[in-house]
Amino acid sequence: MDLLHRADRLRADRTPFVLATVVRAERPTSAKTGDRALVLPDGTMEGFVGGTCAESTVRLQGLRLLETGESTLLRITPSDSPSGADGEREGLLTVTNPCLSGGTLEIFLETMIPAPLVYVHGEAPVARAMVDVARSIGWEGVRGPASALPLDASAVVVASHGRDEVEVLTAAVRADVPYIALVASRKRAAAVLDELQLTALEKARIHAPAGLDIGARTAPEIALSILAEVISSRPRQTAPPPGRIELPLLVVSQVAIAKDLVCAMDVAISPDALQYEHEGTMYYFCGSGCRRAFIDNPARYL
């Protein structure tokens, strides 16, 4: 229950994570059905889903899932030949880890990615409509003051009709928010941009006036035109890999991977990963057994 409370706090803080739950354990394994762990974006893990070898595999696959936003069933087995057709089942990822003690684990990895956040500054009808329309498409819409700009905002829209426009727009540009917009007429938008102490390239990042020209008239229609522009301006892949989810304006850093020189397993480089420094170089290991073997005789593996 403590781990689930921790997951709730991560959601509230808009921190992406993977919830790993053991759904099947085949002896001999140290994990039991129902054991859980959290994989955080920096690679740290909280909870328990098995020994260090299983934990290393869960960490690596969890970090990879944070890049795609997908969830999957992970099967960790010491055998090169998964029994039956398990290795071919859709939605199942089988990883062979020769360092396991002999048992097999099946762990459901559920990826929790925060909804894109649209931060709106202002009290105008368009500002209120922005929040409603954003929430209607599954995004998070929040109105707030100039001093509370979220660091993970996907879009910042200023609809305050003259109040704190310069401060909020400048802060959004400096925070490198992907989409920034000002709700104003063309004439007034040009005047506001002239006030900004920003470079020409920085000013060019601001959509002013905000929104696509779809003939919007009412506040909800204007809000819709702005969100349409947010969606149209996000990065796209012309040919995304099969099964990969394109996350709206959310970028998770790529997983740094090292090779365990003892067993040849891939290991995610993270603060929690087992490691050992030898002659000025850091080496990473899937489990304590491989780490001990390397320490006992580095020359054998180098």
Query: What does the pLDDT look like over 224-244, one tens digit per residue?
Result: 999 999 998 876 544 334 333
Spatial CA neighbour of 207 closest among 248, 163, 157, 171: 157
Largest CA distance in the chain: 74
Mean pLDDT of 145-156: 85
pLDDT at 179 over 60: yes
pLDDT at 272: 82
Residue burial 78-87, b: 16+ Cβ < 10 Å; e: rest: eeeebeeeee
Give the residue-averaged pLDDT of 245-263: 63
Domain segments of the chain as ranges: 2-112, 117-233, 257-301
Residue 172: predicted pLDDT = 93
CA–CA separation, 161 vs 123, rounded Å?
Answer: 9
Mean pLDDT to the nearest integer, 145-162:
86
Residue 17 pLDDT > 70, yes or no?
Answer: yes
Q: How far apart are CA 106 and CA 259, in angstroms?
A: 23
Residue 247, pLDDT > 70, answer no
Cβ neighbours for 137, distance < 8 A, ≥ 6 positions apart: 227
pLDDT value for 91: 76
Percent of the chain having pLDDT more than 70?
89
Q: Is residue 153 within 8 Å of residue 118, measured between CB atoms?
A: yes
249 is written with which tokens?
A: 């304006």
Query: Which one is the CATH code of 117-233: 3.40.50.720, 1.20.140.10, 3.40.50.12280, 1.10.3720.10?
Result: 3.40.50.720
Confidence of residue 133 (pLDDT cuts 50, 70, 90): very high
What's the count of helices (H) and strands (E) in the chain, helices before strands?
A: 9, 15
pLDDT of residue 291 exceeding 70: yes
263 has a pLDDT exceeding 90: no
- What is the pTM assigned to this prediction? 0.69
Question: Which residues, in sequence order, are CB contacts of 214 under 8 Å at separation 6+?
Answer: 221, 224, 225, 228
Residue 64 contacts residue 255 (beta carbons within 8 Å): yes
Mean pLDDT of 100-124: 89
- With cut-offs at 50, 70 and 90, classify the pLDDT of residue 254: low
Q: Is the pLDDT of residue 252 over 60?
A: no
Residue 80: predicted pLDDT: 63
Report which residue type is found at 150.
P
CA proximity to 35, closest of 47, 43, 18: 47
Is residue 253 scored above 70 in pLDDT? Answer: no
pLDDT at position 152 over 90: no
At 243 the pLDDT is: 38
Work out the pLDDT band at 88, boundaries 50, 70, 90.
low
Q: What share of the chain is helix, strand, coil (3-state, %, to 5)?
A: 35, 25, 45
Mean pLDDT, rounded, for 253-266: 83
Determine whether domain 257-301 maps to CATH 1.20.120: no
pLDDT of residue 205 exceeding 70: yes
Weakest-pLDDT range from 62-66, 200-204, 247-251: 247-251
Q: What is the mean pLDDT of residues 267-280?
A: 89
